[in-house]
Structure 1
Amino acid sequence: MADESDDTEKTEDPTQKRLDDALERGDVAKSQEVNTWFVIAGATLVLATFGGSVGGGVEMPLRNLIANSWQIRTDGPGLLALAQQLEYILAAALGLPLLMLMLAAIAGNVVQHRFVWSGETLKPKLSKISVVSGAKRIFGKQAAANFAKGLFKVLALGAVMTAVLWPERSRLDALVRLDPNAILPTTTTLTLQLLGAVVAMLALVAIADYLFQYRQWFERQKMSLREMKEEFKQSEGDPHIKARIRQLRHARMKKRMMAAVPKASVIITNPTHYSVALSYERGMSAPVCVAKGMDNIALKIREIAREHDIPIVENVPLARALYATVKIDDEIPVEHYHAVAEIIGYVMGLKHGFSRRRA
């Protein structure tokens, strides 16, 4: 029973396939605070950039409209034309600011995850009306984090408003005695200061909340050993994965072969297409193939052999036969003992004579 529980406990990091499947289901790491920050930051930018132009763009047409109000017809077509005229005025003044706000809202999602189009979240689920699941949502980590986040925002917003508005309290008292045209610049400046401080404070909240949401999402994607085994069984039949596995095995084998070539006693070639590296020491029952290859690999084997002064012997039929019959790290077949023994003896004789001449 202990082994079974361990086998189903989600302790393993999710695989890339698991993460991709979660994305297709619409299950992504998402923080609403990041979206809120982008919208408020966009609104602050819009107010700072287009505040004056929006007001002027609406003020002048409305003034002209009121000045010529006696020309407006009050019948049905006249009122419809008036409504269309007001729509054009508002669209011209607010079109670009509203577009920037929409882009800010989209950017708040894009920075967290790539675009997802899934209807999985719209499907009815019994877990959504389950009492147990509801209790977990109310008393779980997410609920506690939301409560702490809300409490922090209330306290932080109060502190920010106090820090920004308290030094301006004398100016705020004097606003009631100012001309209405003089009130707007003052209130705009204070509003921008307040929004700037709020944006800076909410940036900290958004970063902390995203890290928390990502950690929660990553924990949900963790897998048990049984799930990993099942996924491996399912993916093992994928031809792309098989091809990738073969490619990795071939690369490892090639690397291991090239590292073993300097230990070879002789290289038998044909000499253009095949190369077989054999290793033999006294006391061995038969020579062992440490590397073999065709074309480019064969050329690489011969290059390494020349670098390490390993003898290269050209024997076309023997090279072809050894390449076709012997595997890496295996002894050569019995039928090739005689031919290989002559070559090994010749090579060892050359080495012995060379060593005697040097002595």
Structure 2
Amino acid sequence: MPVHLTRRPPAQPRPSSRDRSPARQSAAEGGRWSRFDLRGMPYLLVSPYYLLFAVFGAFPLGYTLWISLHDWELAGDRRWLGLGNYAELVADAAFWNAVGNTAGMFVLATIPQLLLALLLAGALDKRLRGRLILRLGVLLPLVTSVVAVAVVFSQLFARDYGLVNWVLGLTGAGPVTWQNEKWSAWIAIAVMVDWRWTGYNAIILLAAMQTIPRELYEAAALDGASSRRQFWRITVPMLRPTLVFVVFVSTIGGLTLFTEPVMFEGNPTMTGGTAGQYQTVAMFVVKEAFRDFDMGYAAAAAWVLFVLILLGTLVNYLFTRRIR
């Protein structure tokens, strides 16, 4: 029986890239661009920050750590010490005096600053006449020159003709030599810091308050909750992410306090008074590096300060995360 074989038509050759239509080529190129836009573009957009951080952040950190392991004179010999600078720093009473001063001024300045900023933001969130002017007014201390602020506050806390001592004299209290005692210098510098930074924190908290749904307050008012109870039961818990940010920034700024005590001293020798009564760790680092020319010792102190900042932010984070 004869078998009839069917002949298959010859296979059509796949079109080469030259034979593809322009529409198909543009679609393929558009698909590749879409994939890059979704996957690669975010990395491209954030890369300038990381490049700048690598040059001006990561490299100085690593180089400072390398310097801290040496007996590194500013314009002299350089000798490997290992952890010798850190061992000397742990036994240095002047360094721990600076740590105590920094911690004391940080507590005196930061806690009232955050409470005042929270209350000020709550007041500015109300319906007030001229709210825009009032909100802009709290930022005026931030744009004021630090030198001008230090000069004014130095006059306010002057011993003989200062306004603060004049007010204390009206109450029967004697004049206070604000720069000579540790506690009085801490208070004066803390007041200076609070005046400068309270408005900044208040504006940040105010911006977060305006994102809270007003329906929550209306429901609480219908349930009979007072304005004070609404503030502490609704506003503060809803501000927790912003409060964490504000506390972190205030912790870093408070533990690296430098400009205010230097200007309050008047004579920038970085000693923080005759007995170091208000010398901060940042002032100690600058003194060791640029007055005593011991870069290795100053770098070790800077790294210890970095560790103290990490511990401080961790403690504050554990505290603020408990806000409910």
TM range (shorter): under 0.3
Q: Relative contact order, CA 8 A, sep 6+: which one is greater?
A: 2
More helix by share: 1
> TM-score, normalised on structure 1?
0.24
> TM-score, normalised on structure 2?
0.26
